[in-house]
Amino acid sequence: MSLGPVMADLAGLEMTPEEKEILAHPLIGGVILFARNFHSPEQLTALTAEIHKIRTPRLLIGVDHEGGRVQRFKHGFTLLPPMRLLGEAYDKDNKHARHMSELLGWLMSVELLSVGVDFSFAPVLDLDKGISDVIGDRAFHSNPEIVADLAHSFMLGMKKAGMVATGKHFPGHGHIKADSHIAIPVDERGYQDILAEDIVPFERMIHYGLAAVMPAHVIYPQVDNKPAGFSSIWIKDILRKRLAFEGIVFSDDLSMEGASVAGGFVERAEAALDAGCDMVLVCNRPDAVVTVIDGLKVKSNPVSQARLIRMHGKISRDLGHLRQKLEWKKAVHELDQFVNKTSMELGF
C-alpha cells in the first residue's frame, strides 16, 4: 500500500479502534502528534511503534518540535531554546552560533528519532520583523542571510542524526501581524519585495538540499488572491519552477482559519493538492478527517510517493540508551552553558 496524501492526528495517549481504522485508510499517509499525545518517552515510543505497525511502508510521524514555545514533548526531553537566541548569539559570534545551531538540530532530531518520530516540522525560515506575534522568537533573525546561515547549520545537525528538514512558512509569515490560526492574513507587499527578503532563506535552503516546505496560510494579493498553500502560482510556478524545489510540500493545517477561504474540508484538501501540495494536514477535527477521506478523489502520484518515502527518519527507539552516550551528554551540557551564558548577556 502506498502512502496517501492526508496527515491526520490522534485524540489521546493511545489509539482508539476507530483511529486505527482511519489510519489504515489508503488516503492516509501520516500522523502529526501534539502535546496531548505525550505522557512520557516510554508511552510515546509505544504509541509510535503501534502507528508504524499499521501499514507498509510505515506511516510518517511528524511533530512541531522547534524549541521555545513550540515544543510538544517536554518531560524527559531536552528543553530547546527559541531560535531567536541563536540569532542574538550570531550577532556576537557567528561561528559559535552556527556550531550551536547544528548541535541543536542534532539534539532535537536524535531525541525524536529515539522515540519513533520521523521528523519535526522545522526549521522556521520566517523573518522576525517584530510584527508577527505568532512567529516572533520562533524565527532565527530579521536578516534573511543570517536566517539561511543558521538554518543551514540546523539542517546539517538534523541530517547527522538521520532526519530531514522542513522549512516553513513559504514564502514568509513575518511581515503580517494576523495569526492564520484564527484569521486570514493578507500581506500587501509586491513580489519583488518578498523575493528580495522572505524568499532568500528558502532559496538558499533549497540549494543546500531542503527536503520539505510548508506554505503559509497567507494571501499575497499582489501575486495571487489565494493563500500560498492553495496557490499554484506560489507552489508550481515560483517554488517548483523558479526555485527548482523537488521535495515534499506539506499544507499547513486545513482546520486553521486561514484555510477557510478555500471552502469545506474536502474542497480545502482538493485545492491544496491541485495547487501542488503532496500532503495535506487535517488537525484537531477528527470529523473533518473522516469527511476528507470519504470525499476526496485523487489519483496516486508516483512522484509524490517517492518524495514522501524520503521523509522517513532513521528510527532507533531507545531514548534510554541515547542518554548514556557521551555525545548526547556533551551536547546537553554545552546547550545548558550556551543558554545560560547568552540569556545572561542579553538580560533575559
Q: What is the DSSP string of 153-208?
A: HHHHHHHHHT---EEEEET--TT--S-TTTS--B----HHHHHHTTHHHHHHHHHH
6-346 folds as TIM Barrel (3.20.20)
Task: Inform me whether the pLDDT recorded for 298 exceeds 90.
Answer: no
Question: Could you read off the pLDDT of 148-177 as tens digits, one per residue?
Answer: 999 999 999 999 999 999 999 999 998 887
Of 50-59, 60-69, 198-207, 255-264, give the lowest mean pLDDT range: 255-264
- Which of 233, 245, 80, 280 shows the shortest CA–CA distance to 167? 245
Phi, psi dihedrals of residue 33, rounded to the nearest 5°: -100, 150
pLDDT > 70: percent of the chain: 97
CA count, 13 A, side-chain hemisphere, 259: 24
Instruction: List the catalytic residue out of 126, 252, 253, 278.
Output: 252
Computed over every residue of the chain, the mean pLDDT equals 94
Where residue 347 falls among pLDDT bands split at 50, 70, 90?
low
pLDDT at site 134: 86
Task: Inform me whether the pLDDT recorded for 259 exceeds 80.
Answer: no
User: pLDDT higher for 1 or 151?
Assistant: 151
How far is Cα 13 from Cα 185, in angstroms, rounded to an integer? 33
Pair 139, 124: CB distance under 8 Å: yes
Which residues have C-beta within 8 Å of that of residue 132, sequence separation ≥ 6? Answer: 126, 173, 174, 175, 176, 177, 179
Task: Inform me whether the pLDDT recorded for 342 exceeds 90.
Answer: no
Where residue 247 falls among pLDDT bands split at 50, 70, 90?
very high
In the numeric block, the cell 540549494 is attached to 207
C-alpha torsion sign, points 84, 87, 92, 98:
positive
User: pLDDT higher for 343 or 324?
Assistant: 324
- Which of 172, 215, 206 shows the shortest CA–CA distance to 191? 172
C-alpha torsion sign, points 281, 286, 287, 291:
positive
Phi, psi dihedrals of residue 305, rounded to the nearest 5°: -60, -45
Is 252 a known active-site residue?
A: yes
Instruction: List the catalytic residue out of 181, 207, 321, 333.
Output: 181
Is 175 a known active-site residue?
A: no
- Across-strand partners of 6? 28, 280
In the numeric block, the cell 522556521 is attached to 124
Task: Inform me whether the pLDDT recorded for 40 exceeds 80.
Answer: yes
Ordered by start, the domain boundaries in the chain are 6-346
Question: Could you read off the pLDDT of 219-242 as tens digits, one per residue?
Answer: 999 999 999 999 999 999 999 999
Task: Inform me whether the pLDDT recorded for 180 exceeds 70.
Answer: no
Of 201-205, 210-214, 314-318, give the lowest mean pLDDT range: 314-318
Task: Inform me whether the pLDDT recorded for 348 exceeds 70.
Answer: no
